[in-house]
Structures are given as structure tokens and as C-alpha cells.
Amino acid sequence: MKLFHKTLQIYLTFSIVVFIISIPLFYFLVEKLWIEDVDDSLFFHKEKIIAGISTSGIDSLAIDNFTRVALDFDLGISVFPLNENAAEKDSVYYNKFYDETRTHIEPFRELKSVVNVDGRSYEILIRKDLVESADLIRGIAITQSILFFVLLAGLILLNNYFAKKTWRPFYHLVSRLNTFRIDKEQPIEPEKSNINEFNDLGNSVSELTKNNIRRYKAQKEFTENAAHETQTPLAVIRTQTDLFAQDKNLTKEQARIVEKMDKNITYLNKLNRNLLLLAKIDNDQFSLNEKTDVFLVLQETIDIFSEQIGLKGIQLKQNLNHHPVILSNSYLMQLLFTNLIKNAVKYNVHGGFVEIELNAGFFKIVNSGDEQPLPANAIFKRFYKQGTSETSSGLGLAIASRICELLQLKIEYNFEKPNRHCFKIILK
Amino acid sequence: MKILLIEDNTDLASGIEKYLSDEGYHCELSQTVEQALEKIQLYEYDCILLDISLPDGSGFVILEKLKQLGKQDGVIIISAKISLDDKLKGLSIGADDYLTKPFHLAELSMRIRALIRRRKFNGNNIIQQGGIHIDLAEKIVQYNGKTVEQLSPKEFELLILFISSPHRVLSKGSIAEHLAGDNADTFDNFDFVYAHVKNLKKKLKNAGCPGYIHTIYGMGYKFKVEGL
């Protein structure tokens, strides 16, 4: 879930709860205020009527007339003279009547009061129409809903525009971290923000990547220099060994020692070259924009190994039907095929088979070999060695996988029973 | 034959010098660019062995100077640098060959011979040794006028390597590297060297050639012509 959505979700949930509570709350509050106001107004009218009666000193006939007129005009006021003297407490209550003009029941509030004015008793009834509850609720609900939607729209807009703007440095960092490659040697530069926490985070990430890049570079340079510097002493040892081998008085035992030395010089040389090659690949020293006919490169590489394949009694099945052309580097491409074919021959059994397939979508090489699958997660690691081979640097497949990574190709290893080892490269 | 060896590592230089002197070359040594520039202006050499990383500069300077002076000396670069770019750069400035360290002395000797043959004898394509007559252009081998059965490309290369280093012990490793280059390690042992040598010996023998190729136990092979 995105951070925006999370915050928005919380805001929305809270708003809905407040909205739901607010409707009955408003309803009761408004109704209470309304009734109080109506009651006040009823008592006010009563006082006015009493004052009217006492000052004008009207008789009972006039009052009857007044009440009739008031009824006719539906003024909601009636005054009845009482025969005996009575005194009752005022009572205010709800009542309902059927409104003929509007053909539905209307609620109203009524004040019933018995008063003595100038020695005579009157019963005064005053009523006022009330707003129907349904109308009130509807009114409140509509108002609240409008407010709610305004709030909602506001929240979303604020979230989208202002929050996004505020969080931008953060998302910038996240996206840079996602695509960060230590070998690209570009530290992450944070975006300036007016929020301190983001600035701190940005600076920390920037420092961290700078440090890592510096260390990576130092390590890479060390590998490169070490490999280079080793070549000269190796050359000295090889020259001396060659000279030593020319000695006519060498015993068989000494000859064997010289041979072993020579073999290991070759091995060390190979190791150095492979390390240098990896360093060069890591350094991006290869251009990757050559249009490469995979078929031609593959054919050339197979030709290099045809002799070795023949000598080991290996049967080679080729199924090369396409000429996929990809943007790559022909040297690296050849190196890739060389490493895979070399492995397929080297770790094959005498009289085994190698199957090479190339079509528009993939390159596949299958070879016979051990009846055990290779550990798929370890074979592409540097210095992984299969068995106890003395001439293997353990870098062949690491280089192959590194080249694939550089060329953005996918390489995978599969094992099929009983002894089919398969390497497949998906061509884009 | 005069060779100028431009190499700052004294151990390496003395080793190369010793081997080449035994082959009958006259070797002169330079350890810096400055010394080397002086020598190439004063003398002519049949072959210059040039290291690229020198204490006072790059060997490429010497190559450029040679070109500028219009000198015809053949140059073989011997460098610790494996980079293809360096190789191409060297060859484009005028080097004839490029050998990366560490190399086998037999390989170096063979390259020097090939270079001198191309330069000195105007691309003379014939090599002769102990009655063996090789036409490099036509890839035809004869023994005393009798044509040897067609050699495979690898057998042909092998024969030239042997003839270029007569009376030298060639280790199986150096032969393997010469024949298969970087892919010599496809095999855990040197069976393929053995197979090629066996075939070559057989074909030579069928043409009546005596057993010039000797097996040196535990080491490799030696090409030995009596009376040489």
C-alpha cells in the first residue's frame, strides 16, 4: 500500500465516523434549540394577549369573535372566557393535527394557560407549527453530506498535490535507490527539501552511496593492479622455468617438477586474465552497441572447439536455424559462447554429446556429464569449482553470467535426468 | 641477427637474452625509453622486443619514433597488458606482433623467426630444416622432394613450432598454449598435444622422414636434427 493511500484511508475513515455521529447530534441539538425558541415565543404571545385583554377591557363577545376569526385564519390562537375562577399551571405539549391544505399530519407545539385578568378567568391556547422531524433530518443530512464531500474532495486534492510535493524528495530517493548500481559510480544526489527529516535522510543516503562507490572502486582498482602487477613476475618465473627445462642434465624427477611449475604458471596466468576481464566488464569498458549476428559468432566459436569435440569423441548436434541480430558486443558474445561451449566439452564424458540450439528467442546448450545436477545457485558465483579440476579457475560461468547481466540477457541452468545439463540464454 | 630488447625487469630481460643468445642472436638491452630512443636512432635491428610499461614512459613513444624515422626494424610488443585495445593500438602504430606476458620462450623465438623471415627475406615463404621443406603459403610439406600427407592446420602449426625451436625442449604446456591459446584448458590433461604429435610423427615417417621429434619424459618434446 502506498503511503498516500494509507494516510488518505485514515483521514477518510475518521471523516466518515465524524459524519455519521454528527447527523443525530445536529438533529437533537437543532431540535432542542428550536423547541426552546418556540416555547419562548408561545409565552411571549401569552403575555401579549393578557396585556391586550387587561388594557382594552374587552368583553366576552369580543373575545369570542376574536377566537373565531383567529380560528378561521388559522392563527393558532384561541381565548375562551371561563365561568368559574380557576387557576392552572401553564402546560406546554406536543400535538398533532391533520392539515387539510397540505393533506398530511403536521406536528405543533401548544401552550395551554389559564389566567386571571381583571377578576375573570380565561383559557388561552396558543400553538405553533413545528418543522417535521423528517424534514429536519433531511435538511441536516443534505447539508452535512455537501460538507462531507467538500471535505473529501479537499483531502484528496491536498493529498495529491501538496502531500506529493512535500514527499517528492522521499520518492526521488526511493526511486534512485531502486535503480542504484554500485558499479555505475554515480552517487545518489538528494533533492532539496524544506523538510529537515528528508534533508537528513537524503544526505545520509548520499554519503552512504559515495562511501560505497569509493570502496568498490578501490577494491576494483586493487584487483586490476594486483592482476597486472602479477603478470611480470609470472613472466620472469616462466622464462626461468623454460631455461631450466633446457638443461640437458635434468633428471626425470626434476623434469616432473618443472612441468608442474609450468602448469601452475599457466593456471595463475589464466586466473589473472579472468580477473582482469571481470574487472573490465565491471568497469564498463566494452561498448554494447554493435549489431551482432548471434549465428555468425556462435558458428565461429563452435568451429574453434570442433577439434576438441572430435578428440573427446563427443557427438555434436547443431540446430541453428535463425540469425537473431542483437545489440551487443561481439567480443563479449564470443566469450560467452566460448565459456559455455568450453564447459560443455570440458565437463563432458568421453563419447558423450553436446546439443546446441539457436533460434530467434534463445540459445541453448545441452551436454552429457555427471548424473548429478549442479547446484544452480552456486555455479554462477566467482570461484565456484566443479569437482577437483586443477585447470579450472572457477570463473568461467561467473564471467558468462556477468556478460549476460551486462548484455541484459537471462541465463539459466537446468538439469534433466539422467545426465542432461542445460544452459539456456534468453535473447531479447 | 641483432635484437634490441627493451624491458625494464632485469630478471626477465636476462632470461630472454640468455635463451635468444643460445639461438645465435645478438641481444642488446635497454631498460628505459630514453636509452631505447638513443639506440634506435644509432643502429638498425632485425627485431625489437618492446615492453609497453617502462619506468620513464610508454613504449608506444618508441614505436612512434621508429615510424617517424622511417625505420624498418620489426617490432614485437611484449606486454603485461591483456587489453585488446592496447594490442590494436600497438599494431596500428606499426608493431608487427603482440605477445602478452607471461609467454613461453619457444613461442617468442618462433615469433621472432617468423618476423625476420617476413622482413628479411621479403616474405620468403619457405622453411627448410633437416631435409624438411615447408611452403608456408601453399601449406605443403615435403621431405627430400617427397610430399608429406596433407597436415591438419594444427599439425602444420605444430611442425613450424618444432622447426623454429630445434634442439629445445618444448613443454606440453607451451605446445598446448600455442595450439589452443586460451582454450588449452578445455582438457584437464595434454592428451590432445599427444594426439597431434603422434599424427604429425606418423605422417612424417610415412614420407620417409627420420624420427626428428623426440619425447622427453615428464617434460614434452624436442625436435632434433643430427648434425645441427
Do B209 and B99 sit in the same domain of this protein?
Answer: no
Would you say residue B80 lies in a domain? yes
Do B115 and B157 sit in the same domain of this protein?
Answer: no
Give the residue from A286, A283, A181 showing the smallest Cα distance to A227.
Answer: A283
Contact residues on chain A for B186, CB-CB shorter than 8 A: 305, 308, 342, 345-346
- Which residues form the domain of B45? 2-120
More confident residue, A82 or B37: B37
* Contact residues for A332 (Cβ-Cβ < 8 A; gap 6+): A281, A286, A288, A403, A406, A407
Q: Does B185 touch chain A (CB under 8 A)?
A: yes
Mark which of B120, B146, B164 sits at the end of a domain.
B120
User: Is B12 in contact with A239 (Cβ distance < 8 A)?
Assistant: yes
User: Is B218 in contact with A259 (Cβ distance < 8 A)?
Assistant: yes
Do B210 and B147 sit in the same domain of this protein?
Answer: yes
Consecutive H or E run containing A365: strand A362-368
DSSP A369: -
Residues A234 and A269 sit within 8 Å (Cβ to Cβ): yes
Minimal Cβ distance to A255: which of B154, B173, B216 = B216
Q: Does B83 touch chain A (CB under 8 A)?
A: yes
Do B88 and B7 sit in the same domain of this protein?
Answer: yes
User: Is B218 in contact with A391 (Cβ distance < 8 A)?
Assistant: no
Give the residue from A259, A353, A335, A250 showing the smallest Cα distance to A298.
Answer: A335
Looking at residues A43-58, what average pLDDT do you find?
81
User: Is B187 in contact with A265 (Cβ distance < 8 A)?
Assistant: no
What is the rounded distance in angstroms from the CA atom of residue B6 to the CA atom of residue B210? 40
Do B62 and B147 sit in the same domain of this protein?
Answer: no
Q: Enumerate residues 99 to 118 of chain B having a beta carbon within 8 A of any beta carbon in chain A.
A: 100-106
Do B200 and B145 sit in the same domain of this protein?
Answer: yes
Contact residues on chain A for B83, CB-CB shorter than 8 A: 280
What is the rounded distance in angstroms from the CA atom of residue A392 to the CA atom of residue A383? 9
CATH code (residue B86): 3.40.50.2300
Q: Enumerate residues 23 to 62 of chain B having a beta carbon within 8 A of any beta carbon in chain A.
A: none
Residues A281 and A273 sit within 8 Å (Cβ to Cβ): no
Contact residues on chain B for A251, CB-CB shorter than 8 A: none
Mark which of B69, B90, B120 sits at the end of a domain.
B120
Residues B40 and B50 sit within 8 Å (Cβ to Cβ): no
Compare all CA atoms of chain B with the CA of A245 and give the residue at the minimum distance: B169
Apex CA B58: angle with CA B47 and CA B24, to 5°?
Answer: 20
Minimal Cβ distance to A345: which of B83, B174, B186 = B186
Locate A400 and state its grid cell. Answer: 558468462
Whole-complex ipTM: 0.87
Would you say residue B228 lies in a domain? no
Helix axes A294-311 and B191-206, enclosed angle (nearest 10) = 70
Q: Which residues pair with A346 in a beta bridge?
A: none
- Give this prediction's pTM: 0.66
Type of residue found at B172: K
**What was the pLDDT predicted at B139?**
87
Do B102 and B143 sit in the same domain of this protein?
Answer: no
pLDDT grade for B34, boundaries at 50, 70 and 90: very high
User: Is A243 in contact with B105 (Cβ distance < 8 A)?
Assistant: yes
Do B76 and B134 sit in the same domain of this protein?
Answer: no
Do B107 and B148 sit in the same domain of this protein?
Answer: no
Compare all CA atoms of chain A with the CA of B84 and give the residue at the minimum distance: A331
CA distance A380 to chain B (A): 18
User: Is B101 in contact with A235 (Cβ distance < 8 A)?
Assistant: yes
CA distance A211 to chain B (A): 29
What is the rounded distance in angstroms from the CA atom of residue B126 to the CA atom of residue B136? 6
Strands B2-6 and B47-50 turn out to be parallel
Residues A306 and A316 sit within 8 Å (Cβ to Cβ): yes
Helix axes B60-69 and B84-93, enclosed angle (nearest 10) = 20
Residue recorded with cell 610508454: B58
What is the rounded distance in angstroms from the CA atom of residue A341 to the CA atom of residue A336? 9
DSSP string, A48-99: HHHHHHHHHT--HHHHHHHHHHHHHTT-SEEEEEESS------EEEEEEEEE
pLDDT in tens, A121-159: 888 888 888 777 777 778 888 888 898 889 888 888 887
Share of chain B above pLDDT 70, in %: 96
More confident residue, B47 or A187: B47
Do B96 and B178 sit in the same domain of this protein?
Answer: no
Strands B140-143 and B146-147 turn out to be antiparallel
Looking at residues A269-297, what average pLDDT do you find?
84
Locate B189 and state its grid cell. Answer: 590433461
Compare all CA atoms of chain B with the CA of A229 and give the residue at the minimum distance: B80
What is the rounded distance in angstroms from the CA atom of residue B115 to the CA atom of residue A253? 37
B208: alpha, beta or left? (left if phi > 0; alpha if psi -120 to 50): left
User: Is B19 in contact with A252 (Cβ distance < 8 A)?
Assistant: no
User: Is B9 in contact with A270 (Cβ distance < 8 A)?
Assistant: no
Choose from A236, A237, A247, A345 for mutation: most chain B CBs within 10 A: A236
> Is a pLDDT exceeding 80 seen at residue B83?
no
Residue recorded with cell 426552546: A36
pLDDT in tens, A222-277: 877 787 788 889 999 999 999 998 888 888 888 888 888 888 888 888 888 888 88
Would you say residue B37 lies in a domain? yes
Average pLDDT for chain B? 88
User: Is A231 in contact with B103 (Cβ distance < 8 A)?
Assistant: no
**What was the pLDDT predicted at A388?**
64
Contact residues on chain A for B154, CB-CB shorter than 8 A: 307
> Is a pLDDT exceeding 90 seen at residue B80?
no
pLDDT in tens, B151-168: 988 899 999 999 988 888
Minimal Cβ distance to A234: which of B83, B101, B217 = B101
User: Is B171 in contact with A338 (Cβ distance < 8 A)?
Assistant: no
Compare all CA atoms of chain A with the CA of B21 and give the residue at the minimum distance: A243
* Contact residues for A418 (Cβ-Cβ < 8 A; gap 6+): A371
In CATH, what is the architecture of A196-282? Orthogonal Bundle (1.10)
C-alpha distance from residue A152 to each of A7, A19, A156, B43, B89 (Å) = 13, 11, 6, 93, 70
3-class SS shares of chain B: helix, strand, coil, % to 5 = 45, 25, 30
**What was the pLDDT predicted at B213?**
92
Looking at residues B179-203, what average pLDDT do you find?
82
Q: Of the CATH numbers 3.30.1330.30, 3.30.565.10, 3.30.420.130, 3.30.1330.90, which one belongs to the domain with range A290-426?
A: 3.30.565.10
DSSP string, B106-147: HHHHHHHHHHHHHHHTTS--EEEETTEEEETTTTEEEETTEE
> Is a pLDDT exceeding 90 seen at residue A34?
no
Ranking A51-55, A58-62, B220-224 by mean pLDDT, the lowest is: A58-62
Domain count of the fold of chain B: 2
- Our CA dihedral for B31, B35, B39, B45, rounded to 10 degrees, sits at 20
User: Is B12 in contact with A255 (Cβ distance < 8 A)?
Assistant: no
What residue ranges of chain A are covered by domains with CATH 3.30.565.10?
A: 290-426
Sign of the four-CA dihedral B197, B199, B204, B210: positive
